[in-house]
C-alpha cells in the first residue's frame, strides 16, 4: 500500500511533469532562457520592453542543439531552428510564461526578430564543459553591461552559477517508484484528485484537429485519413489511434501555434501518452473514470521511465511515451497489473534502440511506429503473452527490465548520441 504522503508526492510530480507547452520544448527552453537574460538586462539599464541587446551569446549542450535544429517555431510562418527562436525570445518572449514563452509574440515581433538575425547579433556555441545533457547558457550585452541566465537539468529550471543539477524532493521520491506503485496510484486515487489529466485530452485533441485542418509537416495523419490511407489501413480502431496521434505530432513539429500537454518536458511525449489512450477509450466505449485512470497510468508510467533515462538522451522519447500508452490501453482492455507488466516487457523487447536524431517533422513517423507497437503489445499482453527473461534484455522483474532499457538509453548509447550530432552538423 502507498502511504498518503507518498500519494501526495506522486500527485505533485504528476502536476509538475504534465504541463502545457507551445512549440518544441528544446527551442522553447532556449527562447525562455534568452527572454530571461534580456529582461534582466533591460531592468539593469532601465530600458523599455522593446529594447534589444547589442549581442546575445549562447552556449548549448549537444542534445539541445540536436533537438532544435530542424523543428518548426510557432508563429513564424514555417521557419525552423534556433536563430528565429532566439530572436523571438529576445524581442517578444515572456519568461513568466515558461514553455509558452512565445505565446504573445506578434507579427511585429517576428519582423523585428528577423531583422535582429539579419544583423548577425546572435552567436551560438556548443557547450563543452558542463556535462548536463540539458544545458543552456545565455549572455546578453549592451552599453557595457551584461546579464546571464542558465537553464539546466530541466527545461524550465534556472540554475545559479556553478550549480550542480539536483533533483527536487518529488523527483528524489520518484526514484523510489515502481511500476506497481504507479499502477496502485492510478487505480486507487480519488477521481477528483486526478481529473485534471483530462486537460491533456482536451489540448492534445485540439492539436490533432489542427493537424487535420492544415497541411503540416509530412501530413502523415492526413494521409492515413485519406481514401488511400483508409483503403490500405481500414477505418478501424488501430487506424484511428495512429492517424489521430500523428495528426497532433504533424501540427506540433511543423510549428503550429497551439498548446499541447507535455510529459517530462516533451510535447511529443505528451501527445504519445495521451492520444492513443483517448482514441481507444472512445472506440472501446470505456467510462470517463476508466479514461482518467488510464491516462494517469500512461503519463505516470512515462514519467517513471523517463526519470532514470534522463530528460534528454540518445533514445527516442516515443519509446518511453508509447510504453505509457500501451499500459493505458491494456488497462482499458480490462488488464490487471500482471498483464500491464507484460505490455511493458513487450514494448522494451521491441523498441529499445530507436535513436533520437533531433526534433523535426519526421518525428510523426517515429511516434506512429511507437504507437502501433503499443497497440500490438497490449493485444499480446491481454492474452497473457509476453517476452520472457530467456530473451534479450528482458528480466523476470518488470522494473529491472525498465532499468535495462534506461541504462542502454542513458549510458550505452552515449557514443551513438555523439555520432548522430556529428552527422547532423556536417551534412
The backbone torsions φ and ψ at residue 370, rounded to the nearest 5 degrees and listed phi first, read: -60, -45
Candidates 1.10.10, 3.40.30, 3.30.1330, 3.30.1540; CATH matching 22-152: 3.30.1330
Residue 16 burial (10 A CB sphere; 0-12, 13-18, 19+): middle
pLDDT of residue 169: 39
| pLDDT tens for the 427 residues of the chain, in order | 888 899 999 999 999 999 998 888 999 999 999 999 999 999 999 998 889 999 999 999 999 998 888 888 988 988 988 999 999 999 999 999 998 999 999 999 999 999 999 999 999 999 989 989 899 999 999 999 999 999 998 899 999 876 665 544 344 444 589 999 999 999 999 999 999 999 999 999 999 999 999 999 999 999 999 999 999 999 999 999 999 999 999 999 988 889 999 999 899 999 999 999 999 999 999 999 999 999 999 999 999 999 989 888 899 999 999 999 999 999 999 999 999 999 999 999 999 999 999 889 999 999 999 999 999 999 999 999 999 999 999 999 999 999 999 999 989 998 998 899 899 888 8
Q: Write down the pLDDT at residue 426.
A: 86
Query: Alpha helices of 105-219 — where are they, by DSSP H?
Result: 107-118, 169-174, 179-188, 191-194, 198-213
List C-alpha distances in Å: 72 to 25, 69, 238, 337, 416. 11, 9, 28, 40, 25
pLDDT at 162: 61
Exposure of 171 by Cβ count < 10 A (0-12 exposed, 13-18 middle, 19+ buried)?
middle
Q: Measured between alpha carbons, how far is 175 from 421 in angstroms, rounded to an integer?
A: 30
CB 133, CB 420: distance < 8 Å? no
Query: How far is CA 20 from each of CA 30, 100, 371, rounded to the nearest angstrom?
Result: 17, 7, 21
Q: Please state, in angstroms and rounded to a whole number, the distance separating the CA atoms of residues 247 and 244.
A: 5
Separation between Cα atoms, residue 229 and residue 215, nearest integer Å: 16
CB burial string 50-82: b at 16+ within 10 A, e below:
eebbeebbbbbbbbbbbbbbbbbbbbbeebbbb
Q: What integer pLDDT is reported at residue 164 of this predicted model?
A: 62
Cα–Cα dist 337/114, whole Å: 53
Q: What distance in Å separates the CA atoms of residue 307 and residue 403, rounded to the nearest whole number?
A: 11
Strand 122-126 vs strand 145-152: parallel, antiparallel, or unpaired? unpaired
C-alpha cell at 65: 542543439
DSSP 8-state symbol, 95 = G
Strands of the sheet containing 122-126, edge to edge, are 122-126, 55-60, 135-142, 145-152
Domain ranges of the chain: 22-152, 168-425
State whether residue 263 is helix, strand or coil.
strand
Q: Do the two domains 22-152 and 168-425 of this chain adopt the same fold?
A: no
Q: Which CATH superfamily is domain 168-425 in?
A: 2-methylcitrate dehydratase PrpD (1.10.4100.10)
Amino acid at each position: 500500500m502507498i502511504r498518503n504522503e507518498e500519494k501526495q508526492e506522486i500527485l505533485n510530480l504528476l502536476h509538475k511533469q504534465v504541463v502545457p507547452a507551445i512549440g518544441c520544448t528544446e527551442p522553447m527552453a532556449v527562447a525562455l532562457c534568452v527572454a530571461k537574460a534580456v529582461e534582466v538586462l533591460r531592468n539593469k539599464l532601465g530600458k523599455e520592453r522593446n529594447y534589444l541587446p547589442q549581442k546575445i551569446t549562447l552556449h548549448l549542450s549537444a542534445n539541445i542543439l540536436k533537438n532544435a535544429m530542424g523543428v518548426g517555431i510557432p508563429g513564424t510562418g514555417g521557419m525552423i531552428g534556433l536563430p528565429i527562436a532566439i530572436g523571438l525570445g529576445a524581442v517578444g518572449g515572456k519568461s513568466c510564461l515558461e514553455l509558452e514563452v512565445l505565446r504573445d509574440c506578434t507579427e511585429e515581433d517576428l519582423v523585428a526578430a528577423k531583422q535582429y538575425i539579419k544583423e548577425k547579433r546572435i552567436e551560438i556555441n556548443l557547450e563543452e564543459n558542463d556535462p548536463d545533457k540539458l544545458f543552456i547558457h545565455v549572455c546578453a550585452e549592451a552599453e557595457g553591461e551584461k546579464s546571464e541566465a542558465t537553464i539546466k537539468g530541466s527545461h524550465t529550471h534556472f540554475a545559479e552559477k556553478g550549480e550542480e543539477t539536483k533533483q527536487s524532493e518529488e523527483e528524489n521520491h520518484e526514484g523510489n517508484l515502481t511500476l506497481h506503485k504507479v499502477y496502485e496510484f492510478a487505480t486507487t486515487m480519488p477521481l477528483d484528485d486526478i481529473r485534471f489529466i483530462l486537460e491533456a485530452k482536451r489540448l492534445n485533441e485540439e492539436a490533432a484537429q489542427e493537424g487535420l485542418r492544415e497541411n503540416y509537416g509530412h501530413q502523415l495523419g492526413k494521409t492515413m485519413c485519406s481514401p488511400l490511407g483508409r483503403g490500405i489501413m481500414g477505418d478501424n480502431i488501430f487506424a484511428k489511434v495512429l492517424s489521430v496521434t500523428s495528426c497532433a505530432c504533424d501540427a506540433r513539429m511543423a510549428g503550429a501555434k497551439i498548446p499541447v500537454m507535455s510529459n517530462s518536458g516533451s510535447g511529443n511525449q505528451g501527445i504519445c501518452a495521451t492520444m492513443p489512450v483517448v482514441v481507444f477509450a472512445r472506440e472501446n466505449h470505456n467510462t470517463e473514470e476508466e479514461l482518467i485512470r488510464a491516462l494517469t497510468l500512461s503519463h505516470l508510467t512515462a514519467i517513471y521511465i523517463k526519470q532514470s533515462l534522463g530528460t534528454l538522451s540518445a533514445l527516442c522519447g516515443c519509446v518511453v511515451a508509447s510504453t505509457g500508452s500501451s499500459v493505458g490501453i491494456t488497462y482499458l482492455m480490462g488488464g490487471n497489473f500482471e498483464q500491464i507488466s507484460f505490455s511493458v516487457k513487450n514494448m522494451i523487447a521491441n523498441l529499445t534502440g530507436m535513436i533520437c536524431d533531433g526534433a523535426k517533422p519526421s518525428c510523426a513517423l517515429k511516434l506512429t511506429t511507437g504507437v502501433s507497437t503499443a497497440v500490438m503489445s497490449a493485444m499480446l499482453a491481454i492474452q497473457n503473452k509476453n517476452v520472457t527473461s530467456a530473451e534479450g534484455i528482458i528480466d523476470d522483474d518488470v522494473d529491472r527490465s525498465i532499468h535495462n532499457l534506461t541504462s542502454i538509453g542513458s549510458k550505452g548509447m552515449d557514443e551513438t548520441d555523439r555520432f548522430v550530432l556529428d552527422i547532423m552538423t556536417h551534412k
